[in-house]
Amino acid sequence: MCRTVDLKQAVLAKNSMAARILRTELTARGTTVVNLLSSPGSGKTALLERELRLARERGTSVAALTADLATENDAVRLARSGVPVKQVLTDGLCHLEADMLAGHLHDWLPEETRLLFVENVGNLVCPASYDLGESLRVVLASVTEGEDKPLKYPAAFGLAHLVIVTKSDLAAPAEFDEDAFRAHVERVNPGVEVVLTSVRTGEGAGVLVDRALRAAEGDAVHAPVMARA
Protein backbone atom coordinates (compact mmCIF):
# COMPACT_ATOMS: atom_id res chain seq x y z
CA MET A 1 0.00 0.00 0.00
CA CYS A 2 1.22 3.46 -0.86
CA ARG A 3 1.55 5.23 2.48
CA THR A 4 1.55 8.82 1.31
CA VAL A 5 -1.50 10.26 -0.40
CA ASP A 6 -2.30 13.70 -1.76
CA LEU A 7 -5.60 14.79 -0.29
CA LYS A 8 -5.98 18.40 -1.49
CA GLN A 9 -9.05 18.89 0.67
CA ALA A 10 -10.21 22.27 1.88
CA VAL A 11 -10.45 22.06 5.65
CA LEU A 12 -13.66 24.09 5.75
CA ALA A 13 -15.23 22.36 2.75
CA LYS A 14 -18.06 20.96 4.85
CA ASN A 15 -19.04 24.41 6.10
CA SER A 16 -18.78 25.92 2.63
CA MET A 17 -21.09 23.23 1.29
CA ALA A 18 -23.61 23.73 4.11
CA ALA A 19 -23.49 27.48 3.49
CA ARG A 20 -24.14 27.05 -0.23
CA ILE A 21 -27.11 24.80 0.45
CA LEU A 22 -28.55 27.21 3.04
CA ARG A 23 -28.11 30.20 0.71
CA THR A 24 -29.87 28.36 -2.10
CA GLU A 25 -32.76 27.24 0.13
CA LEU A 26 -33.27 30.65 1.71
CA THR A 27 -32.98 32.53 -1.57
CA ALA A 28 -35.60 30.21 -3.06
CA ARG A 29 -38.07 31.15 -0.33
CA GLY A 30 -37.22 34.85 -0.59
CA THR A 31 -35.05 35.29 2.50
CA THR A 32 -31.72 37.10 2.39
CA VAL A 33 -29.18 36.65 5.18
CA VAL A 34 -26.96 39.45 6.47
CA ASN A 35 -23.97 38.33 8.55
CA LEU A 36 -22.81 40.99 11.04
CA LEU A 37 -19.27 40.80 12.42
CA SER A 38 -17.67 43.01 15.04
CA SER A 39 -15.62 43.12 18.21
CA PRO A 40 -17.49 43.25 21.52
CA GLY A 41 -18.58 46.76 22.45
CA SER A 42 -18.76 48.00 18.86
CA GLY A 43 -22.34 49.16 19.25
CA LYS A 44 -23.57 46.49 16.85
CA THR A 45 -26.63 45.62 18.91
CA ALA A 46 -27.72 49.26 19.26
CA LEU A 47 -27.35 49.83 15.53
CA LEU A 48 -29.20 46.62 14.69
CA GLU A 49 -32.02 47.55 17.06
CA ARG A 50 -32.43 50.84 15.21
CA GLU A 51 -32.34 49.19 11.79
CA LEU A 52 -34.85 46.50 12.78
CA ARG A 53 -37.24 49.16 14.01
CA LEU A 54 -36.85 51.16 10.79
CA ALA A 55 -37.44 48.08 8.66
CA ARG A 56 -40.58 47.26 10.60
CA GLU A 57 -41.89 50.81 10.20
CA ARG A 58 -41.31 50.55 6.46
CA GLY A 59 -43.22 47.29 6.30
CA THR A 60 -40.23 45.11 5.48
CA SER A 61 -40.46 41.71 7.10
CA VAL A 62 -37.26 41.18 9.09
CA ALA A 63 -35.96 38.86 11.79
CA ALA A 64 -32.76 38.70 13.83
CA LEU A 65 -30.72 35.91 15.29
CA THR A 66 -28.09 36.82 17.82
CA ALA A 67 -25.26 34.50 18.83
CA ASP A 68 -23.48 34.85 22.14
CA LEU A 69 -20.87 32.90 24.02
CA ALA A 70 -23.02 33.08 27.13
CA THR A 71 -26.27 34.71 28.22
CA GLU A 72 -26.39 38.39 27.48
CA ASN A 73 -29.13 40.90 27.00
CA ASP A 74 -28.71 41.38 23.26
CA ALA A 75 -31.84 39.43 22.41
CA VAL A 76 -33.90 41.37 24.94
CA ARG A 77 -32.69 44.65 23.47
CA LEU A 78 -33.32 43.55 19.90
CA ALA A 79 -36.80 42.27 20.75
CA ARG A 80 -37.78 45.82 21.73
CA SER A 81 -37.88 46.57 18.02
CA GLY A 82 -40.92 44.30 17.78
CA VAL A 83 -39.51 41.87 15.22
CA PRO A 84 -38.93 38.12 15.71
CA VAL A 85 -35.64 37.62 17.55
CA LYS A 86 -33.88 34.44 18.53
CA GLN A 87 -30.92 34.13 20.83
CA VAL A 88 -28.46 31.31 20.33
CA LEU A 89 -25.85 30.39 22.91
CA THR A 90 -22.75 28.95 21.31
CA ASP A 91 -21.54 27.41 24.54
CA GLY A 92 -18.06 28.85 24.27
CA LEU A 93 -17.72 28.41 20.51
CA CYS A 94 -16.25 31.60 19.07
CA HIS A 95 -18.22 31.64 15.81
CA LEU A 96 -21.37 30.37 14.12
CA GLU A 97 -21.19 27.70 11.44
CA ALA A 98 -23.60 27.25 8.57
CA ASP A 99 -25.09 23.94 9.74
CA MET A 100 -25.65 25.36 13.25
CA LEU A 101 -27.46 28.34 11.76
CA ALA A 102 -29.56 26.10 9.53
CA GLY A 103 -30.53 24.03 12.57
CA HIS A 104 -31.64 27.11 14.49
CA LEU A 105 -33.65 28.48 11.58
CA HIS A 106 -35.66 25.49 10.55
CA ASP A 107 -38.30 25.56 13.29
CA TRP A 108 -38.15 29.27 14.03
CA LEU A 109 -37.68 31.55 11.01
CA PRO A 110 -41.06 33.01 10.00
CA GLU A 111 -41.94 31.99 6.46
CA GLU A 112 -42.43 35.56 5.19
CA THR A 113 -39.01 36.82 6.39
CA ARG A 114 -37.41 39.00 3.74
CA LEU A 115 -34.22 39.90 5.63
CA LEU A 116 -32.57 37.86 8.35
CA PHE A 117 -29.86 39.67 10.31
CA VAL A 118 -27.41 37.36 12.05
CA GLU A 119 -25.43 38.97 14.83
CA ASN A 120 -22.36 36.72 14.90
CA VAL A 121 -20.30 36.04 18.02
CA GLY A 122 -18.38 39.15 19.04
CA ASN A 123 -14.88 38.89 17.62
CA LEU A 124 -13.23 39.69 14.30
CA VAL A 125 -11.07 36.60 13.90
CA CYS A 126 -13.01 33.36 13.96
CA PRO A 127 -16.32 34.33 12.30
CA ALA A 128 -14.39 35.64 9.28
CA SER A 129 -13.57 32.09 8.19
CA TYR A 130 -17.13 30.77 8.17
CA ASP A 131 -19.61 31.45 5.40
CA LEU A 132 -23.13 31.33 6.86
CA GLY A 133 -24.96 31.41 3.56
CA GLU A 134 -25.22 35.18 3.75
CA SER A 135 -25.68 37.43 0.75
CA LEU A 136 -24.25 40.41 2.57
CA ARG A 137 -21.39 40.36 5.05
CA VAL A 138 -21.04 43.49 7.14
CA VAL A 139 -18.15 44.38 9.43
CA LEU A 140 -18.79 47.01 12.08
CA ALA A 141 -16.27 48.98 14.11
CA SER A 142 -16.79 51.95 16.37
CA VAL A 143 -14.75 55.13 16.15
CA THR A 144 -13.42 54.36 19.63
CA GLU A 145 -11.70 51.22 18.31
CA GLY A 146 -9.29 53.36 16.32
CA GLU A 147 -8.35 53.71 12.68
CA ASP A 148 -5.93 50.73 12.70
CA LYS A 149 -8.67 48.16 13.19
CA PRO A 150 -8.77 47.09 9.49
CA LEU A 151 -5.02 46.40 9.54
CA LYS A 152 -5.29 44.36 12.72
CA TYR A 153 -8.13 42.22 11.33
CA PRO A 154 -7.41 42.07 7.58
CA ALA A 155 -9.39 38.88 6.92
CA ALA A 156 -12.55 40.24 8.54
CA PHE A 157 -12.37 43.61 6.78
CA GLY A 158 -10.97 42.08 3.60
CA LEU A 159 -13.96 39.82 3.07
CA ALA A 160 -16.66 42.38 3.93
CA HIS A 161 -19.28 43.56 1.43
CA LEU A 162 -19.93 46.65 3.54
CA VAL A 163 -18.06 48.36 6.38
CA ILE A 164 -20.05 50.30 8.96
CA VAL A 165 -18.44 52.72 11.39
CA THR A 166 -20.55 53.13 14.53
CA LYS A 167 -20.69 55.86 17.19
CA SER A 168 -19.65 58.55 14.71
CA ASP A 169 -20.88 61.14 17.25
CA LEU A 170 -17.82 60.23 19.31
CA ALA A 171 -15.36 60.72 16.44
CA ALA A 172 -14.00 64.03 17.71
CA PRO A 173 -13.50 63.09 21.37
CA ALA A 174 -12.03 59.73 20.29
CA GLU A 175 -9.74 61.57 17.84
CA PHE A 176 -10.85 59.17 15.14
CA ASP A 177 -8.95 59.75 11.90
CA GLU A 178 -11.59 58.97 9.29
CA ASP A 179 -9.28 59.39 6.30
CA ALA A 180 -6.74 56.98 7.78
CA PHE A 181 -9.49 54.47 8.57
CA ARG A 182 -10.81 54.65 5.01
CA ALA A 183 -7.28 54.27 3.60
CA HIS A 184 -6.72 51.18 5.76
CA VAL A 185 -9.98 49.62 4.64
CA GLU A 186 -9.14 50.40 1.01
CA ARG A 187 -5.75 48.74 1.42
CA VAL A 188 -7.23 45.37 2.46
CA ASN A 189 -10.51 45.59 0.55
CA PRO A 190 -10.30 47.99 -2.40
CA GLY A 191 -13.63 49.42 -3.46
CA VAL A 192 -15.71 48.39 -0.47
CA GLU A 193 -18.25 50.93 0.78
CA VAL A 194 -17.61 52.52 4.20
CA VAL A 195 -20.57 54.21 5.93
CA LEU A 196 -20.53 56.26 9.12
CA THR A 197 -23.41 55.80 11.52
CA SER A 198 -24.57 56.99 14.89
CA VAL A 199 -27.66 55.93 16.77
CA ARG A 200 -27.46 59.17 18.73
CA THR A 201 -27.41 61.64 15.85
CA GLY A 202 -29.23 59.40 13.37
CA GLU A 203 -26.35 59.47 10.90
CA GLY A 204 -26.58 56.67 8.40
CA ALA A 205 -30.06 55.64 9.52
CA GLY A 206 -31.44 52.83 7.39
CA VAL A 207 -28.18 52.04 5.63
CA LEU A 208 -28.14 48.44 6.79
CA VAL A 209 -31.72 47.76 5.70
CA ASP A 210 -31.19 49.61 2.45
CA ARG A 211 -28.05 47.68 1.45
CA ALA A 212 -29.61 44.40 2.55
CA LEU A 213 -32.72 45.07 0.44
CA ARG A 214 -30.57 45.90 -2.56
CA ALA A 215 -28.77 42.58 -2.15
CA ALA A 216 -32.14 40.85 -1.75
CA GLU A 217 -33.33 42.40 -4.99
CA GLY A 218 -30.37 40.91 -6.77
CA ASP A 219 -28.23 44.04 -7.14
CA ALA A 220 -24.59 43.08 -7.47
CA VAL A 221 -22.83 43.32 -4.11
CA HIS A 222 -19.20 44.33 -3.83
CA ALA A 223 -16.78 41.50 -4.69
CA PRO A 224 -13.81 41.65 -2.29
CA VAL A 225 -10.39 40.97 -3.83
CA MET A 226 -9.65 38.57 -0.99
CA ALA A 227 -12.55 36.38 -2.03
CA ARG A 228 -11.24 36.09 -5.59
CA ALA A 229 -8.66 33.32 -5.78
Partner 1 sequence: MHEMSVALSVADQVEQAARAHGATGVERVRLDIGELAGVVPDSLHFCFELVCAGTLLDGAELLVRAVPGRASCTPCGREWATGMPPDLTCPGCRSAATALPAGRELTITEVRWARPPAPAPAPIPHREEN
Q: Which residues bind partner 1 (CB under 8 A)?
A: 1, 3-15, 93-95, 97, 125-126, 128-130, 150-152, 154-156, 158, 184, 186-191, 225-226, 228-229
Closest to partner 1 by CB, 205 or 226: 226
Closest to partner 1 by CB, 8 or 106: 8
DSSP 200-224: TT-TTTTHHHHHHHHHHTTPPPP--
Closest to partner 1 by CB, 94 or 205: 94
Smallest distance from partner 1 to CB 226, Å = 5
Smallest distance from partner 1 to CB 103, Å = 16
Smallest distance from partner 1 to CB 22, Å = 18
25 in helix, strand or coil? helix
CB–CB of 33/62 below 8 Å?
no
Instruction: Report the alpha-carbon distance of residue 156 to residue 110 in Å, rounded.
Output: 29
Closest to partner 1 by CB, 155 or 170: 155
Smallest distance from partner 1 to CB 3, Å = 5
Closest to partner 1 by CB, 80 or 187: 187
What is the helix (H) or strand (E) element at residue 79, kind and residue range? helix 74-79
What is the helix (H) or strand (E) element at residue 184, kind and residue range? helix 178-188
Starting at the edge strand that comes first in sequence, how are the strands of the sheet with 136-142 ordered?
Answer: 85-89, 62-68, 115-119, 32-38, 136-142, 162-166, 193-196
Smallest distance from partner 1 to CB 176, Å = 19
Burial annotation 98-119 (CB, 10 A radius, 16+ → b, else e): bbbbbebbeeebeeebbbbbbb
